Amino acid sequence: MDLISIRDVDKKTIEEILDLAEKKEKVLKPHDLKKTNRVLATLFFEPSTRTKLSFQTAAVRDGLDYIDFLTETSSVKKGESFIDTIKTVMGYSDVLVVRHPKEGSARLAAAVSDKPVVNGGDGGNQHPTQTLIDLYTIRKYKGKIAGLNVTLMGDLKHARTMHSLVYALGMFGAHVTLMSPKGLEMSKETVEEVKKKFNAKVEVKTEFDVSNADVLYVCRIQAERFADPLEAKRVQEQFYISMDNLKGAKNDLIIMHPLPKVNEIAPEIDNSKYAKYFEQAHNGVPVRMAVIDYVLSH
């Protein structure tokens, strides 16, 4: 199977992957890892730290090898098309992870590839494996997803992490609150889709308020998707969460972030009981091990 959008997978599939990830986490010990010669290819046409490295680590931990396509030193520099690149690399590997700035590119790759394609992020559209990590992390800390109050905060207009996550939270019955700087609201279509499809509770707040939140999920201003870089800088400067802002928050609030964070979270929050974003990043390995295993066998 391919994994391109969170809309491609139903609740049962998600739960199977999360359960598999739990098993993967248990066997993340070197003596349990056996070597095979399957190959994962990472093709990232946009910068990445966590997605690429955790996919590569997941591959190695699960007995696969990986090959890494680097745009700068590839034949893309000679003018080779995206489709030709995919058609070539699918002959070298068993599963492809693709990140690209253009929305729809992973879907296109899946259409031309004989091998499973996993979307590592296509423009502002979708980032389904990040969402699986997010659900896994919430389930790990809270024991459930249904009925939790989850506040999504940041650039809800451009962030693919948020577009995938809001859909999955709706599917799992969480109550979602959206908080964004003015002009960076989530599109009405996305909100309506989640409400209609899952009868989900989605609320919009214009003032910062996390008094009711079980999970605060923050993302950075997606400066690379702004037409005007100065506007991105202006919004970024206004958008900052300090320990002071968390007065009145629930004692067991967890703060999550897909990372990278730029300047939206005060450094003292990193060392507080609330911050779970580095654990969340680490969960990328077992969850992506599960994704690789799952797409290769379905």
Taking alpha carbons only, the member of 127, 161, 128 closest to residue 9 is 128
Beta carbon nearer to ligand NCD, 51 or 149: 51
149 versus 280: smaller Cβ distance to ligand NCD: 280
Angstrom distance (rounded) from CA 293 to CA 298? 9
Residue facing ligand NCD at closest CB distance: 258
Binding status of residue 160 toward ligand NCD by CB under 6 A: yes
Q: Is 158 a catalytic residue?
A: no
Phi (first) and psi of residue 87, to 5 degrees: -60, -30
Q: Has 78 been annotated as catalytic?
A: yes
**Cβ closest to ligand NCD, residue 59 vs residue 175:** 59
Stretch that binds ligand NCD, among 7-15, 158-166, 197-205, 264-272 (CB under 6 A): 158-166
Least distance in angstroms from the C-beta of 12 to ligand NCD: 25
Rounded to the nearest whole angstrom, what is the least distance from the CB of residue 140 to ligand NCD in the complex? 17
Amino acid at 233: K
Among 24, 52, 61, 99, the active-site one is 99
What is the spatial distance between Cα 216 and Cα 170, in angstroms, rounded to a whole number?
16
124 is an interface residue for ligand NCD by CB under 6 A? no
In whole angstroms, give the CA distance from residue 270 to residue 276.
8
Q: Given candidates 220, 256, 274, 276, which one binds ligand NCD under the rule CB under 6 A?
A: 220
74 within 8 A of 86, measured Cβ to Cβ: no
Give how far Cα 276 sits from Cα of 137, 142, 158, 252, Å. 8, 12, 23, 11
Pair 194, 174: CB distance under 8 Å: no
The catalytic site residues sit at 50-51, 78, 99, 127
Binding positions for ligand NCD, rule: CB under 6 A: 50-51, 121, 127, 130, 159-161, 219-220, 222, 258-259
